[in-house]
Amino acid sequence: MNRAIMLLATTALLLPTATSAAEPISPAARKTSTMLQQLNGALSQLAERVSPAVVQIQVSGYGLSSDDDDRDRAGYFVRQRAVGSGVIVDPAGYILTNAHVVRGAQRIVVLLPAAGQGLRQESPRRHLYPARLVGVHRDSDLAVLKIDASGLPFLPLRSGTVVRQGELVVAVGSPVGLASTVTMGVVSSAARQLDPDDPMVFIQTDAPVNPGNSGGPLVNTDGEVVGINTFILSGSGGSEGLGFAIPAPVARFVYQGLRKRGFVSRVEVGISAQGINPELVAGLGLPRDWGVIVSDVAPAGPADRGGMRVGDLIESVNGRPIATVPDLIASLYQANDALLEIRVLRGGRPKDLSVRAVQVEHPLDEMVDMVDPDKNLVRRLGVLALDVDDKVQSLKPLRRPNGVIVVARTLDGSSVDSGLLEGDAIHGLNRVEVESVEQLRKAIDACKPGEPVVLQIEREGHFRYLFFDMD
């Protein structure tokens, strides 16, 4: 007998004997099958509805080193090409993404999904668009881009869109550059605060999220954006079921501010505050085990002038109850007037204070956006710098209004460990005054290996010398 025939015959003997009539499907099995088919169809329709509004963002320029914590506000800059994600939130071409996706970008290009029916484009084959950066809000890690297109599919940001623990969600983006990738999971936590003293609260999900998903939407089964995927916790660098997204209400608030003004308005009162924990309760004899305690008051600052003291427990701001540090930060963002009515508990008794807050400014953030890496890189010092002119002086007043100011550091094998920090103003090199980035670059390039270099700098209003030997 042919070997193949023998194999088939043997296999047939091992199979269960077929009955003359198929066994009837039980009502429970039929119901389960119907439910699975409905779920399958609903998820497929959800992906078809959501995916056209999710774009891939291609960035070239300077950005944070992957060796650094993505959430480090003072990381090293390296020349790089990166891919992230974004979501179209307005048919006129406004796109929301993460600030870290576009940080240090010299060129931003948006790739629209290939299946872009109904888009009014200059050419039906044109899916790549140069993007303009409308604004960046680094505290929330959000940014808004604009492309010249209209009639785009979009996913609106609704203020009332919230999630519940256990709810099904879908993440859409470009993990490792794979555009329009859809993954599914559940909301592991609807409000995860990773650090009691960090004001940011995230949606935690086990939907697989990987590098490249940053800036893409997290949507619910109704196709509503519930969050903007921003980072993962991972020991391997890939998804381990610990993804985090910025909640939609926060994203909407930041988007509106960036689109309208190019920045997000917030006031500051000049305090440091911490969430109350059992150790603070036991050590300080606090009257309750929850809330926010004032740990520092800036001398002569708004809170100091308003009568606030270290150890005060903040009860409310403008009538808004304060139970956590995020509540306090939210109240400062939502303040409509600089005069804040703050109620505190002091010695167990309530005390009402009037504090005139001041507008927060982030001069280095604005200066980063002014940098042209081709003109402002001083490679041997490993920094990006700007000439000190009237605009720079208005953003960061200096005792000596000349020289150059360090906007960011770079990781470059040819640079020396100069000790320079962001915000340092360089006024002199050895015995020569520094007047421009071009002059500084020529002077440092002229230094020979092993030659001593002394920089005169201004740091936080104080002059000092930095010295090192050229490599």
For the chain, what percentages of helix, strand and coil (3-state, to nearest 5) are there? 25, 35, 40
**Cβ proximity of 201 and 193 under 8 Å:** yes
**Cβ proximity of 380 and 115 under 8 Å:** no
DSSP structure class, residue 53: G
Of 85, 90, 137, 141, catalytic: 141
- The whole-angstrom separation of Cα 297 and Cα 337 is 21
Q: Is 436 a catalytic residue?
A: no
How far CA 84 is from CA of 59, 201, 356, in Å, comes to 8, 22, 40
**SS3 category, 50:** helix
Give the distance between the most distant pair of CA atoms in the chain. Answer: 102
Q: Is 141 a catalytic residue?
A: yes
**Cβ proximity of 376 and 384 under 8 Å:** yes
> At 47, phi and psi to the nearest 5?
-60, -40
* Residue where the block lists tokens 């979009």: 154
Distance of alpha carbon 390 from the chain centroid: 30
Q: Is 140 a catalytic residue?
A: no
DSSP structure class, residue 159: T
- The whole-angstrom separation of Cα 263 and Cα 245 is 21
Of 214, 239, 331, 415, catalytic: 214
* Residue where the block lists tokens 């785009």: 152
**Residue whose C-alpha is closest to residue 440's, from 402, 411, 397:** 402
Of 100, 365, 387, 427, catalytic: 100
**Cβ proximity of 96 and 228 under 8 Å:** yes
What does the block give as tokens for 289? 């085990």
Burial class (CB in 10 A: 0-12, 13-18, 19+), 102: buried
Q: Which residues pair with 227 in a beta bridge?
A: 218, 247
Residues constituting the chain: 471
* Residue where the block lists tokens 């209209």: 150
Contacts (Cβ under 8 Å, ≥6 apart) of 294? 271, 272, 273, 303, 308, 309, 310, 311, 312, 313, 314, 344
Residues acting as catalytic residues: 100, 141, 214
